[in-house]
Chain A
Amino acid sequence: MSLNFILFLIFAFIAATSAVLMITRKSAIIAALFLILNFAALSGLYLTLNAQFIAVVQVIVYAGAIMVLFLFVIMLLRPSDEQSIFDDNPKLKWLATFVGVLVFAQILAIIFIGRPSDGLTPDLQRSIEVGTIEAIGRELYTTYLIPFQSAAFLLLAATIGALILAKKKLED
């Protein structure tokens, strides 16, 4: 059992557990904290996959920026805790869980019928190379120039929109 595999197991366990805990906590704050834990574990998983750049961005963007935003809004609105998660309208919620389990089984079936690993010949050197900032940056500014530019417009629209929707007072 290689170190990589052990790390994978640890991070996978943290990620899976924190995900489940996230959706079962009554308090939004605690849920958010578990999500941050999940993102951190994901970042670790990315490292086991030699995706250094993405791992760093994951921590900075997700755990750092997005989740702070979530926490900020939770604090701002102070929503009351949910009384219980499964008691109100339990039929529907069990149906939802059942459907979820079904889809999970289906996706697993697809993955294990498809067996993607059969067609793969992993190349460690290559996978390290593609995960570097340099490799990603080069692609991003050449082939993916147009999507990159459009991302700018997306963020611009989102900024304007967030301002318009959340600004406290608007001149009439």
Chain B
Amino acid sequence: MIPTALEFQLLLPVLIIAAGILISLIIEMFSSKSEKILPWFSIALFVSTAYYSLLTVGHERIIFNSMLAAGGTANIFFFVFTFGAAIVTLISIDYIKKIGMYYGEYYILLQSAVLGMMLMANAQDLVMIFMGLEQMSVCFYILAGFNRKKIKSNEAAMKYFLLGAFATGFIVYGIALMYGVAQTMSIPAIANGLLIYSDNIIFVAGLLLFIIGFSFKIAAVPFHMWVPDVYQGSPTSITALMSTGGKAAAFSSLLIIFTPLFATTQSTLFQPYLVVIATLSMLLGSIVAIAQTDLKRMLAYSSISHAGYILIGVAAGSELGIASVIFYLSAYTFMNLGTFGIISMIENKDEGNLSLNDYSGLGNKKPMLAALLAIFMFALAGIPPFAGFFGKYYVFIAAIESNLTWLAIVGVLSSVISIYFYLRVVVVMYFQKDENILNVEDSSPALLGIMISALLVIVMGIAPGSIINLISNFVK
């Protein structure tokens, strides 16, 4: 079973990134100007991959001995990861210089993390999912601690690594139990016998442990505890990637696992579990975010509650549910990236200017940034006509169609609570007297990245119908 040229061609998005990592390594080693070349090289790499992924989205196929999938939802995820990573790179260019952690390896690790995400999104084998997950996680552990002179960054890396590796233990154990029953790790093969396995307690327990491991990665309560600390301590640009691409990648793997399950009569097997963690995540995230004064930490809790909303779509277990999850993830990725981009611009070199009060009077001092941040806050709060509203809208519709109306109501309730802390940022920016002096260094690449995110958030809010239709075409 020697791979054909066509298979390599279909794998091109992944191969481009992989080749890019090696080329970046060479640039970093031999060029004295690597600091100027590498970021733009990464952006070119990400954008071309994003473009190519969208171009080949129609070529759906299982390739490499049913190890990987090409086309379809995998490519949509590719687009989200790579385009998101391009924005992160734009944000990073001036940010990593500002906080004094400029090493060329930063971009190489960014590319490696994206490679891991992509492998997670198109895996068709548990081994592949595991390798992709570890590739991504290992890069994130490093990047979280990348600002190695800062104790907060060290601590974040430490906690992330410790708990992440702990969760990995459960994932491996879960895979082991599943393997013992299914005798294979290929997901299509497992899918064939799913109806029989779903009565086998060892298989189901293995699957549960596996899902719990991923619940950790997507930051669902009660496996969320690492999130606030790690998001707060990591360099802001990395938090941006972790909270968007990282979360989307974990969800993409969950969908790969769940999609065959939804096609069987046992589609509601894990519904109780999903419903419980979704409810807990939404409520806990929204409520605790209110008490936060540090913006990054507040957004960490916001990220927990968004994980809850997205889980509603998974719990719905229908095609609309899956499509809504993908839509939500794309919308969430860009609104969160924009938000963190702005935070990274306002943050100063000693990890200052991160608390809510530092934003007072921003509406006067930096009207552009303030207006953009207001858009993202409205979008995150789910106020129409921005992307966030339709993310929630589709997810709730999916829940109602799957007879989970009460879950949708909990979701609405939680979004009402969350409006409070999102709008508080807007109120502080526009209606609070500014006592402090805020020195914001302009950064045109970052501003460009933020504006692209804002544009996407608005476009997804104005034309959500065509996007969800596109996604639905590939969800089966």
Contact = CB atoms under 8 A, between A and B. Distances in A.
Give yes or no for direct A-B contact (beta carbon below 8 Å): yes
Contacts, number: 90
B103 interface: yes
A2 interface: no
B98 interface: no
A164 B202 contact: no
A147 B1 CA distance: 16
Contacts of A157: 108-109, 112, 135, 138-139, 142
A150 B131 contact: yes
A61 interface: no
Nearest to B202: A114
A150 B132 contact: yes
Contacts of B132: 150
B141 interface: yes
A142 B65 contact: yes
A151 B146 contact: no
A29 to B, nearest CB: 21
A147 B105 contact: no
Nearest to B201: A114
B155 to A, nearest CB: 13
A158 interface: yes
B68 to A, nearest CB: 6
Interface in B55-74: 64-65, 67-68
A13 interface: no
B119 interface: yes
B383 interface: no
Contacts of A147: 67, 125, 127-128, 131
A163 B177 CA distance: 36
| B contact patch SS | helix
Contacts of B202: 110-111, 114, 116
A107 to B, nearest CB: 8
B144 to A, nearest CB: 10
Contacts of A144: 67, 127
A107 B100 CA distance: 48
Given A116-B180, A170-B103, A158 B200 contact: no
Contacts of A3: none
Given A110-B202, A113-B201, A147-B131, A161 B141 contact: yes
Interface in A131-157: 142-147, 149-151, 153-154, 156-157
A31 B91 CA distance: 44
Top 5 A-B pairs, shortest CB-CB distance: A161-B142, A114-B202, A157-B112, A143-B65, A110-B205
Interface of B: 1, 3, 18, 21, 25, 64-65, 67-68, 100, 103, 105, 108-109, 112, 115-116, 119, 125, 127-128, 131-132, 134-135, 138-139, 141-142, 145-146, 148, 157, 177, 180-181, 200-202, 205
B105 to A, nearest CB: 5
Interface residues of A, number: 28
A160 interface: yes
- Scoring A143, A149, A172 by chain B CB atoms within 10 A of each residue's CB, the highest score goes to A143
Contacts of A161: 105, 109, 138-139, 141-142
B109 A143 contact: no
24 contacts: A110-B177, A110-B202, A116-B180, A116-B181, A116-B202, A146-B64, A146-B68, A147-B128, A147-B131, A149-B18, A150-B119, A153-B18, A153-B112, A154-B131, A154-B135, A157-B135, A158-B142, A160-B25, A160-B108, A161-B138, A161-B142, A162-B142, A164-B148, A165-B145
Nearest to B127: A147
Given A164-B148, A165-B157, 19 more contacts: A110-B202, A110-B205, A114-B202, A114-B205, A116-B181, A143-B1, A143-B65, A143-B67, A147-B125, A150-B131, A154-B138, A156-B25, A157-B135, A160-B25, A160-B105, A160-B108, A163-B105, A164-B146, A172-B100
B105 A156 contact: no
A93 B157 CA distance: 24
Contacts of A163: 105
Contacts of B3: 145
B26 to A, nearest CB: 13
B138 A114 contact: no
A166 to B, nearest CB: 9
B148 A156 contact: no
B150 to A, nearest CB: 13
